Structure 1
Amino acid sequence: MSELEATLRSLVDPSSVAVSSGDRLSGKVGAAITRDDERYKEKQQEPPRRKPRLAPLPQAKGTFVDVAPLSVLHALGRSISLDRQGSVRGLAEHWGCLKYALALDASQKQEHMALSVEGRSTQRQHKTVQAHELGVGFGVAAAEHILRERYRDHRVSIVPAEVALRAGWPLTGRRYRPRFFAEVWRPGERAKVLPVVCKGHHGRQSSSYPQLASASAHVEAVHIGLWNETPALVLSTELSMKGPIVVHALAADGDGGVLPAGEEELNYSLRDLSMHPQITKPSEGGTPEEGLPGFHVLPQHTGWFRTVLARTDAAGLVAFTGDSGATAPYLTKYQGREYYTRQSHAAISSVRNIEHTLLGIPYVGTEHVFRLNGERVEAFSGLAEDLFKILMQGRVDKYRREVDARYGRHPYARWDRSWEGAVSVRPDGSVLAIRRLKP
């Protein structure tokens, strides 16, 4: 076995990642919030509103998530496929996850996943970027695990919050907002939605306290349904330079965040609503109704918002295949539909023109060639062919029924002997695979 093949095979080796929560973490974050608010007051500034009831996860004591490095990178790639942070206009954004192919160590020599020698050697500004992006990858993987355990027999979709919010509100200035929405759903049933923030750092456990304190303001910026009843999830990943990787997590419970069932509405294109960005605090006693900065999905808009989330998730899936024509119809004008209807730069655009059968499932998608340890490797990202054809027809409702009936609820990574490479499959039907490029 060559050194490169050994490296690629290690990407599918599962390893445990600890999810830490508890009263001590909640107390430390509460103290960090108090200190932060005092600094605002010293500057004669108003402290930000924060989620008032961040508490330990009841099921997270001693919890471990078994996950392969490629599954973490796949989670990161899917979550950023609509980010449009660079000139690629969102069509090849997800390939950025592969720069961490050598950063994680899940070897069987150790019990828990940790940073590799290369991951620990990252310096300066790249260290900050690595912490941010791997914090998203591990945070998404942990959030999905937490919610699957809590809501058994349900699906969990992670939707970029900024893209979703643009369909309803102008996003100007430095407004607080969550990084993602986690939609917990089953076909034909009401959905539960939680604002989610995932952060990461290379410091000690104590570095997670201010990160979670900051996250409390970001998740508070969105209320869905009843005032002050929206559940939320905040996570901070400790990417230790010496020990194992740990995800620290707190949650807020609430009876809000509920969206109606209507499945057929998911197939209809949306119009932008352009609502005023404010949260309506109801009157209490002699206090009049108040408008606070933020984003409020009022009861009359919950059906519209579920369609936004489902169609934004569909857009991210087809963008993961490199198909701009299939991505554009699922987005509104303000969500960036025009970015997927104009020509991208020839050197950085992505095109759906590849078909592979991986682990017995036919996929369609796009490829990327780069070097790993000096050798050329080929990466493939895509979606199961049958699911892609359904989304090409605009049938989000049918896609959700099919994926719920036929696909597992947990991500997995395997070595495909016939394709001769590492393969990661997610419950949404997407795939990320990597192999040595044959001469």
Structure 2
Amino acid sequence: MTPWNLLGVFARATTLARHGRGRGLAEHWQGLKYCQALAAGPGGYLSLTAEGESPELSYRAMQARELGRAFGLAVAERVVRSCFPACLVSTLDAEAVLLASFARSGPRPTLGARPRPDFFIEAWRPGEPSRIFVVTVNGNHQIATKRTSKADRSTSKQLARASERAEQFHLGQWNTTPCLLMSTELLAMEGITINALRAPGEGLLPTRTAEGSGSADHVLTERNLLYAGALRLPAIDGRRERSQDGFLIPRKEIGWFGQLLARTGAAGQLAFAGAGTEIAQYLTVKQGHKHYVQQTFAGSSSVRDARHRIGYTWYVGTDQVFRLNRTRVEAFSGMAEELYELLVKGGVEAYRQRAYDLRNTLPTGASAPQWGPEAFPSSV
């Protein structure tokens, strides 16, 4: 994996993240600050540079929170793709999805302090049932000196907390949704190490129709699903049957949830390409529909304003110019113009079909003529 590929994974997954008022486009460009923190280390593996090992505590904490999460998410995507090689993979911010059905009442839609997973990964293929994985990602930046190091203890605690968060979401019924829990040690003795736990399950979403009310092209109405006492835990280990708070998608709403994932993913793709008001059509009120209708914040209301040809394909999106050791660098993020136009017109199902048809035509190299480093994802 190259540094720009890693940063691209994290950028695509956070375009709809609600990390403050600057959600959207401003979020995914933040990854550029790590361009000098990563490089090929011993044996050619990706490792931290001297700058990446900077002793400033604030920088380390931020790096563990963001870069550690990026590594974990990249590995999670590869795990899902390896299990389902015939499928495409979509990664979605869990909060952005859950807001549509579990937002608390108040002037500003929020999930509050309820424990929840970080991301959902959907493995899908047009015309077939797709699968959903619950994902948590964490990172720590402790200096490891031996296997009983402080870093190991931090990792164990992170995985334990991740289990608590992941177990708050259930699709259809209790304890049948697959989970991937990731914790990254950025200064492990063996280099950057990703620790992973997996919980099995099917996580199946029903096949959608290509058109009509059952398709992802259909505008969704929000749901007010039960959170308090939503989960019924069976009598196990000598304990009585009991109820527990959690994000449960009832069986009758699983089809709706599949549509929600597809539409939220479409909004994320448009946000990555710098779209503006076009994003709003795919989001419910609680997900932030109003935010994208009213272009009021400079970082997230930028519009798609760049068009470049890479290989034989025209890509549209947005660019950013910055300085890297006094060198002027232009970065571009976008998507194939053909796919962009389908999403702008509301054609989620047509977009998915065409994206699947084009999956083997994307460039696979690490650089592009006249551009330099490039990263074309296998996820969509």
TM-score (norm 1): 0.77
- Mapped pair 1:266 → 2:216: yes
SS for the counterpart of 1:199 is strand
The separation in 1 between residues aligned to 2:260 and 2:252, in whole angstroms, is 14
- Change in CA separation of 1:348 and 1:300 when aligned onto 2, cut-off 3 Å: closer
Shift of residue 412, structure 1, vs aligned partner = 4.6
The separation in 2 between residues aligned to 1:377 and 1:384, in whole angstroms, is 22
- Mapped pair 1:131 → 2:78: no
| 8 Å CA contact retained: 1:70, 1:101 | yes
Paired residue type of 1:110: G
The separation in 2 between residues aligned to 1:72 and 1:244, in whole angstroms, is 16
Shift of residue 392, structure 1, vs aligned partner = 1.1
- Mapped pair 1:423 → 2:374: yes
Shift of residue 306, structure 1, vs aligned partner = 0.4
1:43-63: per-residue Cα shift (whole Å, max 9, x none)?
Answer: xxxxxxxxxxxxxxxxxxxxx
Paired residue type of 1:160: D
Shift of residue 95, structure 1, vs aligned partner = 0.2
- Mapped pair 1:103 → 2:37: yes
Shift of residue 275, structure 1, vs aligned partner = 1.6
| 8 Å CA contact retained: 2:119, 2:134 | yes
The separation in 1 between residues aligned to 2:74 and 2:31, in whole angstroms, is 14
Shift of residue 411, structure 1, vs aligned partner = 8.9
> Which residue is 1:308 aligned to?
260
> Which residue is 2:353 aligned to?
401
Q: Which runs of 5+ in 2 are unaligned?
A: 104-109, 145-150
The separation in 1 between residues aligned to 2:337 and 2:327, in whole angstroms, is 30
Match of 1:78 among 12, 28, 34: 12
Match of 2:328 among 352, 371, 376: 376
| 8 Å CA contact retained: 1:68, 1:412 | no
The separation in 1 between residues aligned to 2:347 and 2:300, in whole angstroms, is 29
Match of 2:112 among 156, 160, 173: 173
| 8 Å CA contact retained: 2:89, 2:121 | yes
Match of 1:215 among 141, 153, 162: 162
Greater mean alpha carbon deviation, residues 120-129 or residues 307-316: 120-129
Greater mean alpha carbon deviation, residues 115-124 or residues 310-319: 115-124
The separation in 2 between residues aligned to 1:387 and 1:122, in whole angstroms, is 44
The separation in 1 between residues aligned to 2:364 and 2:64, in whole angstroms, is 24
Alpha-carbon RMSD: 2.3
- Correspondence 1:40-119 to 2 at 5 A: 67-106=1-40, 110-119=43-52
Aligned-pair identity in percent equals: 38
- Change in CA separation of 1:338 and 1:348 when aligned onto 2, cut-off 3 Å: closer
| 8 Å CA contact retained: 1:76, 1:140 | yes
1:361-395: per-residue Cα shift (whole Å, max 9, x none)?
Answer: 21000111111112221111111111101111111
- Change in CA separation of 1:115 and 1:412 when aligned onto 2, cut-off 3 Å: farther
| 8 Å CA contact retained: 1:71, 1:413 | no
> Which residue is 1:251 aligned to?
198
Paired residue type of 2:165: H
Match of 2:185 among 228, 238, 260: 238
- Change in CA separation of 1:162 and 1:410 when aligned onto 2, cut-off 3 Å: farther
- Change in CA separation of 1:221 and 1:289 when aligned onto 2, cut-off 3 Å: same
TM-score (norm 2): 0.89
The separation in 2 between residues aligned to 1:224 and 1:393, in whole angstroms, is 30
Shift of residue 281, structure 1, vs aligned partner = 0.7
Match of 2:125 among 166, 186, 190: 186
| 8 Å CA contact retained: 2:319, 2:333 | yes
The separation in 1 between residues aligned to 2:335 and 2:253, in whole angstroms, is 31
The separation in 2 between residues aligned to 1:410 and 1:388, in whole angstroms, is 15
> Which residue is 1:436 aligned to?
none
The separation in 1 between residues aligned to 2:174 and 2:325, in whole angstroms, is 53
Shift of residue 217, structure 1, vs aligned partner = 0.4
